Amino acid sequence: MTFKVGFWGYPNPEITKEINSKYPNCEWIDLDIDFEYPQSNILPDAYCKIIKNIIDNSLYIKPDLIVATIGKDKCDSGWFASYLLKDLGFNVIQSIFEDISKRKDTPISESDIPLRNKIELITGNIIKQKKYELKKVDAKFGFWGVPPNDLSILELFPNETHVFGWTRCVEANVPADIELEMMVDENIPTVFYSQAFCAKSQLAKYLAKKYDGLYVDIDDYSTNSVKAKIEAFLKLR
């Protein structure tokens, strides 16, 4: 049977390298993603959907190993989740990757492909990185934040949308770089997105006010009213 490795956030590259060397044919599963598996109801109803995904996915998939990102490159809730899963009997390796000295360029974030494709390429590049030949595009809009649980909202944006926030930090291989996370292009209208009940909502709301952008937080899946708000912002700005 295939050795399954679950992970969340951006695991330390040294850890992923070691695991890939030990289990060259292992299957990596991003536990952040909503695969719509049965809900465990272990966590409170009013809690971050991404952390709920991590718990629910782990209990359903039952990975042989879990690499849990717990430092400033993720969040305290990720740290708590690692201990909860360990207590439930999972084999958990805690990962911290807070080195911000090797910031890389972010060609995917600035490319002319659809925004959803940008986000999926960035997150899909975490474990096994590939280089892509992509055309750079001048930005008309910005999307700041983490990869949303509801990826369909990304389809509302035109291709001329640049990626900012934690997602761009991931592409730059510096997920804990708070200075890069707070950098945006002041000259373009930007939607500042946060998952509901996420600590990053503090940054999103502050930056939206500072740069006259649109602050949006979504719990599970977007409502039509939230989508309409985003569409109106993009159209009127």
Each residue's pLDDT tens digit, 119-161: 999 999 999 888 898 999 999 999 999 999 999 999 999 999 9
Tokens standing for 24?
A: 């060259």
* Number of domains present in the structure of the chain: 2
Q: Is residue 192 part of a domain?
A: yes
Same domain, 120 and 232: yes
Q: Are residues 138 and 78 in the same domain?
A: no
If 0-12 CB within 10 Å is exposed, 13-18 middle and 19+ buried, where does residue 131 land?
A: exposed
pLDDT for the residue numbered 129: 86
**155 plus 75 within the same structural domain:** no
pLDDT score at 1: 85
Is 174 among the domain residues?
A: yes
Residue 237 has pLDDT above 90, yes or no: no
pLDDT digits (tens, 9 = 90+) for 29-54: 999 999 999 999 999 999 999 999 99
Average pLDDT over all residues of the chain? 96
* Pairing between β-strand 214-218 and β-strand 65-69 as defined by DSSP bridges: unpaired
Q: What is the DSSP letter of 218?
A: E
- Give the DSSP H or E segment for 83: helix 76-87
Residues of the domain holding 188:
115-236
pLDDT of residue 162: 99
Percent of the chain with pLDDT over 70: 100
94: Cα separation from own chain's centroid: 18
